[in-house]
């Protein structure tokens, strides 16, 4: 359950209001005026908490839960304990997210510039902008209305932020144009030089990185993620894309709309991702690849070829997901049988004679 020292609490909510927010149906005998204090996981919840079940593997937790109410798919409603009201909804997790946000809304900014911040006189600030301690806003930067700039964050020359952006502590942004309502988490690095050089017999020659980074509306850029600016063309992150912590995106990469890129992914320069691509944790993409719209890449895969629209791949080098699964199953069989072709059981019998 949320610790109110860190997560502001909006107060109690009546069951009827909770159902309205969640888009859920109440049991016929439920009292819509009954009040609840907040949300909690099944294992931690008490009678004054709302919880949720979105995965059948947690049915055991549901059976033992003390939650007063649970957001649950209609097909599983009968599995809720008698002491737990089943609020039925087709998407329990999304419903939980809306209810949790109602109990614990995101903190609002405190407009104003901290005395220790440095803001160049040529910078343009919209209404209700908050700039935190020791933040730096350089010449000709433009910050949209309602933006929040965290402590020690740096916005480079001519950087533009759309309305409602949040920039976390110690993040740095240069050579970038950012859309509306973008969340940039602490320590992110956006717009630094791409890894570009030419090779000569005497060593390396630095290639000037003359592009920028363009980030669409409503994106999330995770903590300590790095997005290099383009070398000749721009690096582009499509609207609604969510990038997890510790992701590296190389120069000239084009990421489509609504993509999900999980922690520790590395995307080499000039690769292109279509809309709604999903990359699992620690995926590595070689440069100059095309990943089709709706493609899925399993965690820890190494991708060295183009991936078609809607294709699911896995392994290193990545192959179609079913082929990878067959390879993995066959490898397990070979290990169990041993190099002499006999099973472990047969070998043990021979050794015991």
* Catalytic residue numbers, as ranges: 251
Q: In what order do the strands lie in the sheet with 124-125?
A: 124-125, 142-143, 160-161, 176-178, 213-215, 235-237, 254-255, 272-273, 290-291
Q: Is 42 exposed, middle or buried (0-12, 13-18, 19+ CB in 10 A)?
A: buried
Cβ–Cβ under 8 Å, residues 173 and 141:
no
- Distances in whole angstroms, Cα of residue 97 to Cα of each of 22, 57, 220: 8, 20, 17
Cβ–Cβ under 8 Å, residues 171 and 191:
no
Place of tokens 């070689």: 286
Neighbouring C-beta atoms of residue 144, cutoff 10 Å:
22
Question: DSSP 3-state assignment of 166?
Answer: strand
Helix axes 92-103, 15-22, angle to 10 degrees: 130
């Amino acid at each position: 359950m949320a610790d109110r020292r860190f997560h502001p609490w909006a107060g109690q909510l009546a069951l009827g209001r909770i159902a309205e927010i969640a888009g859920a149906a109440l049991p016929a005998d439920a009292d819509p005026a009954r009040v609840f204090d907040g949300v909690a996981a099944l294992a931690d919840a008490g009678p004054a908490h709302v919880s949720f079940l979105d995965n059948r593997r947690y049915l055991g937790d549901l059976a033992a839960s003390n939650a007063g109410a649970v957001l649950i798919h209609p097909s599983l409603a009968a599995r809720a304990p008698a002491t737990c009201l089943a609020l039925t909804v087709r998407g329990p997790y999304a419903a939980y997210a809306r209810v949790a946000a109602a109990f614990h809304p995101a903190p609002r900014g405190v407009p104003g510039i901290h005395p220790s911040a440095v803001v160049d006189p040529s910078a343009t600030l919209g209404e209700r902008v908050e700039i935190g301690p020791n933040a730096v806003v350089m010449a000709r930067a433009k910050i949209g209305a309602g933006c929040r700039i965290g402590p020690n964050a740096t916005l480079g020359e001519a950087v533009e932020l759309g309305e409602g952006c949040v920039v976390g502590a110690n993040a740095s942004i240069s050579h970038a144009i950012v859309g509306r309502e973008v969340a940039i988490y602490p320590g992110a690095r956006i717009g630094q030089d791409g890894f570009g050089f030419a090779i000569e017999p005497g060593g390396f020659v630095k290639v000037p990185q003359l592009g920028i980074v363009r980030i669409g509306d409503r994106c999330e850029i995770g903590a300590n993620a790095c997005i290099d600016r383009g070398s000749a063309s721009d690096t582009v992150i499509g609207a609604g894309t969510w990038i997890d912590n510790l992701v590296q995106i190389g120069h000239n990469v084009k990421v489509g709309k609504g993509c999900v890129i999980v922690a520790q992914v590395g995307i080499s320069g000039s690769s292109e991702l279509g809309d709604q691509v999903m990359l699992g944790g620690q995926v590595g993409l070689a440069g100059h690849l095309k990943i089709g719209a709706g493609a899925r890449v399993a965690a820890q895969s190494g991708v060295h070829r183009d991936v078609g629209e809607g294709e699911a791949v896995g392994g290193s080098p990545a192959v179609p997901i079913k082929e990878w699964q067959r390879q993995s199953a066959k490898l397990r069989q070979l290990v169990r049988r041993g190099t002499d072709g006999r099973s472990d059981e047969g070998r043990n019998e021979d050794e015991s004679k």
